[in-house]
Structures are given as C-alpha cells and as structure tokens.
Amino acid sequence: MTNKAAKIYIAGHNGMVGSAIWRNLEAKGYSNLVGASSKEVDLCNQQAVNDFIATTKPEIIIDAAAKVGGILANNDFPYQFLMENMQIQNNLIDAAHRTNVSKFIFLGSSCIYPKLAPQPLKEDYLLTDSLEPTNEWYALAKISGVKLCQAIRNQFQKDFVSLMPTNLYGTHDNFDLKSSHVLPAMIRKFHEAKHNQNAAVVLWGSGTPMREFLFVDDMAAAVVFALENKLPDYLYNVGTGEDLTIKDLATTIQKIVGHTGEIVWDDSKPDGTPRKLMDVSKMHALGWKHQVQLEEGIQKTYNWFLENIDNFKQIDYK
C-alpha cells in the first residue's frame, strides 16, 4: 500500500482526468498532492519541467497532461498535436527518470491501436498495422510515450506503467463545439437545440460506428489502483469492455437532456474508426472493474454541465 503522505505530482491536475484523480486521492486520504497550472509550469519547456521536479521532489508522478481534441482539432492542427504532446511527456518522463521518481503512471488513449485491428483491442495489437488518419498525430505521440516508459522499465527496472483509457467523459469535460469529443459535444448540441424550440440537431457521420465510453471517475479509480499496486506489465487498457453505436449514444443523450426534435446525420463528414472496443481482461484479472454505467454517467455529466453553464462561452439561446 502506498504511503498516504507520499508526495504525488499530478500533471494536468486542472483537466477532466487530472481533477478526477486528485478528488479520488484526496477522498482516500492522500495528503501531499502537488499540481501546477500551465501558467506556473509550461510542460512543453524542458528546463521549466526540470526545475519544477527538482524543486518539488515528487515521489510519484501521474501524467494526465496532454493537448487533446476531437477529429476536427486533430485534422486542423497535426503539428501541434504531435509536437506538444511529445514535448509534454518527454519532459516529464525524462525528469522522473533522472530524479529517481519511484513510480510514473502515463495516460494514453485507445487511438494508439491500428484503425482496423481486431476487436476487442488487445494490448498486443500495438504497432501491428496503420493508424486512423484522423487522429494519427495524437496517437503517434502517445505511442512514443508508451514506448519510453517501456524502455525505462526494461533498461532500468523502474516502475513506469502506461494506462490506455477508452473514450472518457464526465464532469469538468470540454464542451467547446470546435474542440470537444463526441459525447460532451452531443450534450451541448441537444441542450442548445432544446432551448431553441427543439430545433433539429445535426450530427457528424452516419451514426454507425461503435464506441465505448468510460466515466472519468472510473478512470481515476483505475489510476489509483495502478498507484497502489505494482502492475506486472508495462501497458494496460482501461475501459468498460462494452460499446454502442453513435446513433444509440445520440438517442440516449437526447432522452436524458429532454430534446424532442429531429436528429439529422451529415454523412458527408468523417466517421473515424469503425469500431474501437477495448479488451480490458488484463485489468479485470488484477482486480479493477468500472462501476458507473453509461446512462448514470451521462446524467451526472449533464447535471454538472447545467451547474456550470455560465462558464461556457458561445451558448446562444435564440
């Protein structure tokens, strides 16, 4: 069991995942948590990261920091998605290695796996085929992070482990329509349409791709599980092992939000990967399993959205 007084640095602690990890650790009695905003420490700046780690001397680092976004953002800013994510993780991993941090937990994404890999996605499928073009820049950065942690684990026998979450959603999510992922974007679109005489909601693609979604508090629990246990392998999938079509997701969100208008599918827009279901048997075998079911998680997320609606820009009720 990890010492509750151990100094734990959560990179990206203000983000959806990082803040959920912070809440989980705090609730379990961890009393020495460290965070720094992007204004305080620019994680893309190696010297700034080195100075921060040397000064704070964390015993454990959780890397929940990343430049993230949906299909549109990945497509429009490929250089930033590849370069900035590599800079962030390289700086943190190298600083952790050189200061002999006892444990490093790296968070990636299910998009590291090949576009047409067999389903469900096993950890062994990494680098067996080509990536999904709509997010390959982000995926390549995350793959390099996984391999760096594996290299340190193999060469120096250090406890560096990578967790690959499926699609995450939840409280503190990003609801900006230009950069958000599919689930929070749908929540906002249905909510705004509901307040606009239940106007029709236009959604990207055909609605046929299958997707898996994990509530962020479950992801946080998986990270804490990895923190409190020495995991025997270098790479683990984290998800529910269950998926549904984007059309079914849309009707579920529509029902929870209370929108009664039409849903229009714009099939001129890309669908992305046809299916992306995680094989989570390795984590299940160790004793971790998700707790929050999809409808409950969406309801919690929508409640949080309503409580924080004044903070979201560009919501225009006509």
Whole-model pTM: value is: 0.92
The least confident of 2-6, 28-32, 142-146 is 2-6
Taking the C-alpha atoms of residue 279 and residue 162, their distance in angstroms, rounded to an integer, is: 15
Does residue 259 form part of some domain?
A: no
Provide the residue range defining the domain that includes 14.
8-173+212-242+276-294
| pLDDT value of position 181 | 83
**H helix and E strand count, the chain:** 10, 13
Does residue 216 form part of some domain?
A: yes
Q: Alpha helices of the chain — where are they, by DSSP H? A: 16-27, 46-56, 71-76, 78-98, 136-156, 182-194, 216-228, 246-257, 281-286, 294-307
Does residue 142 carry a pLDDT above 70?
Answer: yes
Catalytic residue among 9, 113, 138, 302: 138
Does residue 305 form part of some domain?
A: no
Does residue 221 form part of some domain?
A: yes
Known binding positions for substrate: 189, 204, 211, 271
Does residue 257 form part of some domain?
A: no
| CATH classification at residue 282 | 3.40.50.720
- pLDDT tens, residue by residue, 225-279: 999 999 999 999 999 999 999 999 999 999 999 999 999 999 998 887 788 899 9
- pLDDT tens, residue by residue, 56-114: 999 999 999 998 776 777 778 899 999 999 999 999 999 999 999 999 999 999 989 99
Nearest to 194 by CA among 256, 249, 252, 247: 256
- 138 catalytic? Reply is yes
Query: How many distinct structural domains can be found in the chain?
Result: 1
Question: Taking a C-beta distance cutoff of 8 angstroms, is the pair 150, 157 a contact?
Answer: no
Known binding positions: 12-18, 107-110, 142, 165-168, 181, 189, 204, 211, 271
Question: Taking a C-beta distance cutoff of 8 angstroms, is the pair 214, 238 a contact?
Answer: yes
Known binding positions for NADP(+): 12-18, 107-110, 142, 165-168, 181
| pLDDT value of position 1 | 60
Does residue 253 form part of some domain?
A: no
Q: What is the mean pLDDT of residues 179-207?
A: 94
Q: What is the mean pLDDT of residues 303-315?
A: 81
Does residue 195 form part of some domain?
A: no
Does residue 79 form part of some domain?
A: yes
